[in-house]
């Protein structure tokens, strides 16, 4: 039997497929580069509000753990991976066999599509949402069904459940959703899973909870308890957001062992570094730092919202570390204008052509950035 491109990419694993699909760019580069066709030598903006990172950086304990890990830089990171897997299992009340580590949660999303999508098992997702599952699906020839978000920028869960029939392989639910910053409560997710079980009983539901720690809506709850009773539900998490480790690249999935086992062949061996493993474990043991980062994000986001609303612009609900502001003009042009003054914001996300996605920086960064925003909003 001849080797197909899909078979070849599957054999390479998630990292190899990514290399075959496009130039090797980091998560920041992919997020930022799509917004503007900039030359590679473009200076890094002074204020970077384009990739939903934590501007304050990791916990001091994580930094110290990274430094200590350098003494083992000549060794493969088997032991750090084991330690992180065990720490995550303990934190979530599961056995280590329920945990799959990844080079950021991006790798988790890729291997999930590889494991559960195929030419006759489509990917169902929202639009707009985080696009990594769609990119890898199209690279592999997996059909994609994109369901537009509703008028309130929330996921249309009913339409997504219907689209899963008759034979979806994987359904991607980013909750809270990037780029719209909206969230669905626990009851809505429960009802969605029930509906999917009727329309596509064999479909795997992948819930991306990258922004879990930022949610304040009391109706929300993680889906991790749900997956303990459903082998076809999994949750992806990352250390790139509230934990401030985007440059370290550490993420994970929680799912029942049979689901984890189905994904493991597509994962890169030793997919996280010793530094990433050590930093992630240290972060899990620093809950006070996480609470402080949540507080800073809450206060700075309120300041940023008040700025736009004070000028008469609408800002949608946000349960994340970014906002979507309707600036009533082409957001691509606004992004380009802000960049001339050293402020980078998110790219344009059709069909919301007048909405600017703005990550929350430090309070000092947002004070300086809002002066730039005011200048270019006034000049339009």
The pLDDT mean for the chain works out to: 90
Are 343 and 239 spatial neighbours (Cβ–Cβ below 8 Å)? no
Are 253 and 235 spatial neighbours (Cβ–Cβ below 8 Å)? yes
pLDDT of residue 380: 64
pLDDT of 189-232, one tens digit each?
999 999 999 999 999 999 999 999 999 999 999 999 999 999 99
pLDDT of residue 268: 86
Which CATH number describes the domain made up of 60-285? Answer: 3.40.640.10
Predicted confidence band at 58 (pLDDT cuts at 50, 70, 90)? very high
Q: What is the mean pLDDT of residues 273-282?
A: 95
Three-state DSSP class for residue 272: coil
End-to-end CA distance of the chain: 60
Burial of 28 (0-12, 13-18, 19+ CB in 10 A): middle
pLDDT of 68-117, one tens digit each?
999 888 888 778 899 999 999 999 999 999 999 999 999 999 999 999 99
pLDDT of residue 5: 37
pLDDT of residue 72: 84
Are 236 and 76 spatial neighbours (Cβ–Cβ below 8 Å)? no
Same fold yes or no, 23-56+288-379 and 60-285:
no
Task: Judge whether residue 304 has pLDDT over 80.
Answer: yes
Identify the weakest region by mean pLDDT among 14-18, 71-75, 168-172. Answer: 14-18
pLDDT of residue 21: 37
Q: What is the mean pLDDT of residues 16-22?
A: 38
Q: What tokens were used for 44?
A: 């890094």
Q: What is the mean pLDDT of residues 295-302?
A: 98
Task: Judge whether residue 281 has pLDDT over 50.
Answer: yes
Domain ranges of the chain: 23-56+288-379, 60-285
Distance of alpha carbon 260 from alpha carbon 66, whole angstroms:
28
Distance of alpha carbon 95 from alpha carbon 325, whole angstroms:
42
pLDDT of residue 166: 87
Distance of alpha carbon 244 from alpha carbon 121, whole angstroms:
35
Q: Fill in the DSSP letter of residue 330.
A: -
Predicted confidence band at 376 (pLDDT cuts at 50, 70, 90)? very high
Give the strands of the sheet with 204-208, arranged side by side: 99-102, 251-254, 233-238, 204-208, 170-174, 123-127, 144-148
Q: Fill in the DSSP letter of residue 323.
A: E
Are 199 and 185 spatial neighbours (Cβ–Cβ below 8 Å)? no
Q: In Å, how far from its chain's centre is CA 232?
A: 20
The predicted model scores a pTM of 0.89
Task: Judge whether residue 17 has pLDDT over 50.
Answer: no
Distance of alpha carbon 253 from alpha carbon 236, whole angstroms:
4
Distance of alpha carbon 371 from alpha carbon 24, whole angstroms:
35
Q: What is the mean pLDDT of residues 129-134?
A: 98
CA distances from 344 to 46, 67, 351, 354 (A): 8, 30, 21, 16
- For 23-56+288-379, the fitting CATH number among 3.40.50.620, 3.90.1150.10, 3.30.70.270, 2.40.50.100 is 3.90.1150.10
Buried b (16+ CB within 10 A) or exposed e, 279-311: bbbbbbebeebbeebbebbeebbeebbebbeee
Three-state DSSP class for residue 286: coil
Distance of alpha carbon 57 from alpha carbon 7, whole angstroms:
39
Would you tell me how many other CB atoms lie within 10 Å of the CB of residue 20?
12
Q: What is the mean pLDDT of residues 317-326?
A: 98
């Amino acid at each position: 039997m001849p080797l197909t491109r899909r078979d070849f990419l599957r054999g390479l694993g998630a990292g190899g497929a990514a290399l075959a699909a496009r130039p090797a760019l980091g998560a920041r580069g992919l997020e930022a580069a799509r917004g503007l066709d900039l030359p590679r030598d473009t200076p890094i903006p002074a204020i970077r509000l384009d990739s939903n990172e934590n501007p304050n950086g990791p916990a001091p304990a994580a930094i110290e753990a990274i430094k200590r890990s350098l003494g083992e830089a000549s060794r493969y990171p088997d032991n750090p991976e084991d330690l992180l897997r065990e720490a995550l299992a303990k934190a979530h009340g599961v056995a280590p066999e329920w945990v799959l580590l990844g080079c950021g949660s991006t790798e988790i999303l890729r291997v999930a599509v590889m494991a559960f999508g195929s030419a006759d098992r489509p990917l169902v997702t929202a639009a707009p949402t985080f696009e990594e599952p769609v990119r890898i699906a199209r690279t592999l020839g997996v059909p994609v069904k994109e369901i537009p978000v509703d008028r309130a920028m929330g996921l249309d869960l009913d339409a997504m459940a219907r689209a899963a029939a008759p034979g979806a392989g994987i359904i991607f639910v980013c909750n809270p959703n990037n780029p719209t910053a909206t969230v669905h409560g626990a009851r809505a997710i429960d009802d969605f899973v029930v509906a999917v079980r009727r329309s596509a009983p064999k479909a795997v539901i992948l819930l991306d909870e990258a922004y879990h720690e930022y949610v304040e809506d009391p109706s929300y709850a993680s889906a991790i308890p749900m997956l303990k009773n459903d082998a076809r539900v999994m949750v992806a998490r990352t250390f790139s957001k509230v934990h401030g480790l985007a440059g370290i690249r550490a993420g994970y999935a929680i799912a029942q062992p049979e689901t984890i086992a189905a994904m493991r062949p597509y994962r890169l061996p030793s997919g996280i570094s010793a530094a990433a493993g050590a930093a992630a474990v240290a972060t899990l043991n620093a809950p006070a730092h996480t609470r402080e980062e949540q507080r800073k994000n809450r206060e700075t986001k309120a300041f940023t919202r008040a700025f736009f609303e004070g000028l008469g612009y609408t800002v949608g609900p946000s349960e994340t570390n970014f906002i979507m502001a309707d600036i009533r003009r082409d957001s691509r042009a606004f992004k380009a204008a802000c960049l001339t003054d050293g402020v980078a914001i998110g790219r344009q996300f059709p069909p919301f052509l007048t909405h600017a996605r703005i990550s929350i920086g430090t309070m000092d960064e947002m004070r300086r950035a809002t002066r730039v925003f005011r200048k270019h909003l006034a000049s339009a």
